[in-house]
Structure formats: structure tokens, C-alpha cells
Amino acid sequence: MHGKIAYGNANARDMLSLKNSVSKLPELKNVLSDAKTTMLREIYENLDELKDVHELIEKSIIEEPGITITEGNIIKKGYNEEVDKLKEASTNGKVWLVELEAKEKEETGIKNLKIGFNKVFGYYIEVTKSNLNLVPERYIRKQTLTNGERFITEELKELEDTILGSEGKLVDLEYKLFLEIREKISKEIPRIQKTAEVISMLDVLCSFAEVAEDLNYTMPIVDNSGEIKIEEGRHPVIEKMLNSGNFVPNDTYMNKDSDRLSIITGPNMAGKSTYMRQVALITLMAQIGSFVPARYAKIGVVDKIFTRVGASDDLSMGQSTFMVEMMEVANILKEATSNSLVILDEIGRGTSTYDGLSIAWAVATFMADKEKCGAKTLFATHYHELTKLEDKIEGVKNYSVAVKEKGEDIIFLRKIVKGGTDESYGIHVARLAGVPKEVLKNAKDILKSLERKSMLGEKNMEKAEKTGSAGQLDMYNYKLAEIAHELDKINVNELTPIDAMNLLVKLKESAS
């Protein structure tokens, strides 16, 4: 509103809206008068009631003004003496017209005679054709119509000058006075803005209080300890979407030393993303002064919250989903500090399995390194291999989403528990989604085949570690698994000797 006033765009109805808003300020200030807290006392002291602004609009602008400010019908009676006189002349003029019409009917005997007005000819006396013989000589012809004629008289002309003159003057004067009123109020914009800022702060505090009361939030402890400790934390949005008592709360503990990076594994739909987001939201809510959805929360202040949870293609810029993901990850790696909170969801899934795992492993290692970053990080992943980081890097802890198996069925318990998992349950989720049984059976067969290849790679990796050559068979070396996969596709019965030799050469090159 103050923007419209400052730029000279406010009309009379905008002024009334401002008046109606300002009219609530005295009552609001009275409510705040008993406040004891420092912040509310400051709000009370800084709350300008703007009584002069309210008074000016109240005495100058009528309650139902016109939409435009150039057509009159703005200024209230009693605000300006000249406006009152012109309005009286305009009102009396209409009475005079009614009296003149009655007088002309009586003198001429023309019972259907009427006085009208249009913007081209002004005021006129209209007589039908059947009564033209009764028109007196003092009538001056103005316009001929199909069904009659229009006339003026000297008396009507004088009356027109009086009425139209007063109406024109009135419109011009009302416009001039409105501009003056708007200019006076525009000089008070700094006060209006200050009051608006105070009201907005009070509005936020009231919203915080109402939500905390209605949804059973708790007051967090906010300090510089560097710890994030949440007991029975909940997602503020998801819990509202579920029926009362259906949301499963979770605990969280993170610090700058022993619990910097949490690797979270578990199937899709189990609640990993919800859990991570609720930690970020609870941290954010605590730092903006809100109560939080938890039984207990201690939040060590973080300098930034970074998230990498899903990406959208930017085809117009030629950027794929994976490119967007990597750009976001790059920004986090550059900007995050040991005081930051980082949420990473499924890093590397936009590319091939081996590339993705390599990137996820390297990112997790960088984030956990105190010298390079050391930010408190929640890292959800499908790469179960990352759980090995707990034994390799200090400060890394494994967590997973609890799942209960019942025959071929699975139940997501939505509970975050300590320890990693090597189960993905992807085929179970596919079945829940309605994928046909034939496809599911084929998926199980393929999975068993791939697991055999994976076991071959793991056995060689263990052997290499014992002999001291683990550097060539670490987490990034899946060549044995790839070779096994190629061999599995060969139909020996159809293979010629020359084909066999060529294949052997190819496999040897890929292994080197």
C-alpha cells in the first residue's frame, strides 16, 4: 500500500483500506501494554498508532468513493467549504430541473414533455410529434428526432450553466484536494513502513505461537555447541497430512567430532528423505525463533543449510538432471563449512552404477574430512558399499530404516536405527507398485545372477587385501564383475574358434 502512495498510484479506495488497517492499531497497542518479554516490549514501544493518518482520511474521504480520482465523488462533506457549496449547487440544480419540468408541462399543456441530458447537446426539453403544435415560440429548436424534437429555453440554458459549471468545478476541486491528501500521507511513509514492519514481526510470532500450541511443539535449546540432538522429531508438513498419531517420530544426534556424517541406507518409500528433511526443517525452525515438532531439541547454530534432494531438468540450458545434480554438489563442496548442515539424497544416481558409486564415495569422504569440510551431513544412499566408510573414517556412522519382513511382504517401520543394511528391497517395492509377476520373477533371476558376479569380485578383493595389493581392487574396481557379466551372455555352442580368440583378447584388454 505504501508503495502505491509513494509512486502516486493510490486511489480513494486504497486510502480507505489504509484507514481501516490503521484503525486496529490502538486496540493492538492496548493488548501489548501488559507484555513482559523484551521483544514484545520493543514491539509495543515501536508501534506507532498513526492516529493523525487515520484522522486525516476519516474526515476527508467518503465511505464509498468512486474508483477513479478524476470523476469526483471523493471528498466528504465538512472537509472543505467550497466543495460543500458546489455540492449544494449541484444537488439544488437537480431539484430545479424537476420543478422546471413540472412548470413547463403546466404552461404548455404538453403532459409527456420531459427534460433530459446528453454530453453532446447538454440539457434539453423533448416533445413528441403529436404535441409539436403546442410548442410555444420561446422554445428554440435544438435537434430533430424520428418521433419528436428537442428544444431549449433561455431559463434552461441558464440552469445548465449553473449546474454543469458547479459539477465541473466540483470534480476539479475534489481531484486537487485528493492529491493534497495523498501527498500529506506520502510524507508519513517512513512511519507507516516502520509500523508495517512491527506488525509483520508480531504476525510471525503469533503464527509461531498458534502452531506450537495446536501441534504440540516444544521450545528448542539453541546454542553454539555444534551439536544437533533431536528426540522424537517429526516432519512439520508430513505429520499434518497424516491422521493424528500415525507419524513415526525419530531421534537424531550429530556433532562436529564423532558423529559428523550419517550414512543412511534403506529401501525407497521407507522414509529416508522425510527423515533428513525434518532434521533440516527443525534446525531451520529453531534458528528463526520457532518452537519445533519434537519432544526435545538442542540445536547448535549452523551457518548454512545445504540440500541436494532431487533435481529438475533444464533442457533450455542444455543441462541434464545429472548435470544439475553435479552443479549443486559442486556448490556444496565449495561453500559448506564445519558449521554447516548438509542434506544429500542419492548422490550419483543420475549416471552409471560405477560412476555414481565412485562420485558418492568421494563426496562422502570429502564431507567427512575435517581438514577439507567436516560439515554435519546426512547422506542417504542406495550404494550399500558406502557403509564401509564407518570403519575407515572417524566421524562416520551408519543408520538404516527398519524394515519388517513377513514372507514375501515387507513392512516399512519408518524408524531410523543404528547400523547399515545390504538389502535394497527394490523388487518388493516394484511388487507393491503393481509390476506384473512375470517381470518380477525375471528381475529376481537377474538379481541372483548379478549377485553371483558381485560375490566373485568381493572374494578377489578380500584376497588382494590379504596379499597387500588391495590398491588395485578397491571400491572403484568392478572389472571382474563386468567380465563375469560378459561371460554370462556367451552361448558357447555358437562360438567359433576365431570368435573365442577375439573375445579372449577383448576380455584381456578390458581387464588390463
At 7-41, the pLDDT tens digits run 678 889 999 999 999 999 999 999 999 888 899 99
Give the pLDDT band (50/70/90) at residue 468.
very low
Is pLDDT above 50 for 199?
yes
88-92, 131-135, 466-470: range with lowest mean pLDDT: 466-470
How far is the C-alpha of 207 from the C-alpha of 214, rounded, in Å? 11
Task: Assign domain 217-433 one CATH number from 3.40.50.300, 1.10.760.10, 2.115.10.20, 3.40.1010.10.
Answer: 3.40.50.300
* Residue 481, CA distances (Å) to 244, 444, 465, 477 in order: 49, 18, 17, 9
**Cβ of 143: how many Cβ atoms within 10 Å?**
14
Residue 75's pLDDT is: 92
Domain map of the chain by residue range? 1-108+167-215, 217-433, 436-512
d(CA 265, CA 419): 9
Q: Which residue has the cell 517395492?
A: 429
Other Cβ atoms closer than 10 A to 56 = 18
Residue 278 to residue 275: CA distance in whole angstroms: 5
Distance CA 215, CA 337 (A): 33
pLDDT band at 357 (very low <50, low <70, confident <90, very high): confident
Long-range contacts, stretch 362-368, CB < 8 angstroms, 24+ apart: 363/329, 363/333, 364/261, 364/263, 364/389, 364/396, 365/389, 365/393, 366/333, 367/260, 367/261, 367/333, 367/336, 367/342, 368/260, 368/261, 368/393, 368/395, 368/396
Read off the pLDDT band of 159 (50, 70, 90): confident
CATH fold of 1-108+167-215 reads MutS, DNA mismatch repair protein; Chain A, domain 3 (1.10.1420)
Residue type, 266: G
- Give the pLDDT confidence score for residue 188 in this predicted structure: 92
Residue 486 reports pLDDT greater than 60: yes
pLDDT category of residue 407 using cuts at 50, 70 and 90: low
Cα 303 from Cα 300, distance rounded (Å) = 10
Nearest to 250 by CA among 271, 266, 265, 268: 271
Q: Calculate mean pLDDT across residues 251-264.
A: 95
Q: What is the pLDDT of residue 461?
A: 46
Residue 200 pLDDT exceeds 70: yes
The long-range contacts involving 145-154, CB below 8 angstroms and separated by at least 24 positions, are 150/116, 150/121, 150/124, 150/125, 150/126, 151/124, 151/125, 151/126, 151/127, 152/122, 152/123, 152/124, 152/125, 153/104, 153/125
Which pLDDT does position 402 carry in this prediction? 83
Look at residue 408 in the predicted model and tell me its pLDDT.
62
Cα distance between residue 487 and residue 372, in whole Å: 42
pTM: 0.68
Range in 86-90, 474-478, 507-511 with the lowest mean pLDDT: 474-478
* Residue 192 amino acid letter: I
Helices (H), 66-153: 81-108
Note whether 53 and 21 are within 8 A (CB).
no
Fold match flag (1-108+167-215 vs 217-433): no
| Residues in contact with 447: Cβ distance below 8 Å, sequence separation at least 6, in sequence order | 427
107, three cell numbers: 404552461
Burial (CB < 10 A; 0-12, 13-18, 19+), residue 223, is exposed
Measure the CA–CA gap between 272 and 309, rounded to whole angstroms.
11
